[in-house]
Copies of this chain bind each other. A is one copy, B any other.
């Protein structure tokens, strides 16, 4: 019986409530916290060659740090979406639909 994204959202709500952190968890602050954590994730990859980065999870210590930073990013993303009342999976699927039209199959390179 595995945990779902809703379970995670609820656990993070309880965690923040138990510490009176909702005052700090405003959308503006959470966007900054998300950005800060992505910065820490970036730190782990910045000096690696593409090959080293592709093999990052074979290095036990680096793998642990990558999982730790991905978790932090996930925490703030889920908290932010919760505060903004956005369903992340639904929003992500809706965007796939729009991207299907923007990038018909056959395009050679991702464009943003």
By the criterion CB–CB under 8 Å, are B38 and A35 in contact? yes
By the criterion CB–CB under 8 Å, are B4 and A89 in contact? yes
Number of this chain's copies in the complex: 4
Chain A residues with a Cβ closer than 8 Å to the other chain, count: 77
The one of B39, B96, B103 that contacts A19, using a Cβ cutoff of 8 Å? B103
The one of B19, B71, B99 that contacts A94, using a Cβ cutoff of 8 Å? B71
Known: A35-B42, A43-B112, A110-B21. A70 touches B50 (CB 8 A): no
Q: Which residues of A contact B (CB under 8 A)?
A: 2-5, 7-8, 11-12, 15, 18-21, 24-29, 31-43, 45-50, 53-54, 56-57, 66-68, 70-75, 77-78, 80-81, 84-86, 88-96, 99-100, 103, 105-110, 112
